[in-house]
Structure 1
Amino acid sequence: MGGLKQNYWQNYVDGNWVDGGAGRLTVENPGTGEPLAEIALADAADIERAVKAALACHESGVLSSMRPVERGRMVRGMGDYLLANREEIAEMLTLESGKPYWEALVETDGAARYFEYYGNQAETVEGRSIPLGGDYLDFTTYEPFGVSAQIIPWNYPLE
């Protein structure tokens, strides 16, 4: 399958790489039909486990009690991973989507930049309320919102 270092990608749940309950999904090169890699296919039970793990982490306070600079390093670490593996990631994007390799490199670099930017926000955003007027009570609370999940369409898989 392709010339990639890794041919099977698991799901990351509760600090572990795990198989999906619904088996595997083959990612193919649309131009040739050649299999490129397989990815773990999650089912409803996998999603439930992931949400429970995220909620347990949130309720434990481990992240909210962590120094902002440390939380930022965790987020920036994902961008560092993308940059360290940019050629392999760009190759997969090119083979899987048909986009030019140079564009896949730009996309990988751009995604890494997002992680860098938001990782830096963890220690630089001070959080303040903007006054809305005399008839309103404005305040800022320093509590994490909690667990959220999104399923969204995209044009750039990494961004």
Structure 2
Amino acid sequence: MAEAQVKSFPVSWEELHRTSKALAWRLLELGPFEGIVAVTRGGLVPAAIVARELEIRLIETACLSSYHGQEQGGLTVLKEATLADKGKGWLIVDDLVDTGETAKSLRAMMPDAHFATVYAKPAGRPLVDTFVTEVSQDTWIFFPWDMEPQPSTPIIGLRG
């Protein structure tokens, strides 16, 4: 049986800024929000861009870990966001919803918050309220902080 091929989707700093700003546009009419919960680490950059665009100055963090390199492991909650009223009036911002495990944990912590991500995969998409770009479940997104300039192999060369 053939092993499932993983597609790669590299994202530049410019593209991340552009899509995070597009996320802010989608959220504009849904606010105002009391504050933002940035999901560390990937949600920090999109949260900063959304906060700037929507002029939100109150930022909290929820610190969770589920990836170890490109391997997804057990979810570890390192720090919960401490919000009153189950997150009502707050905006959760993350870079990506993948399998939905992190999203389920965040929903349990803040069930009344609005959850927004820049990218969404099908397994996690139902758990977020707003997103910008959907990618297939078998796509690995390389965020700008994960990359260094280097030569690449054309797509046709990856088919083996």
Per the normalisation by structure 1, the TM-score is 0.26
Greater C-alpha radius of gyration? 1
More strand by share: 2
Larger relative CO (CA 8 A, sep 6+): 1 or 2?
A: 2
TM-score, length basis structure 2: 0.25
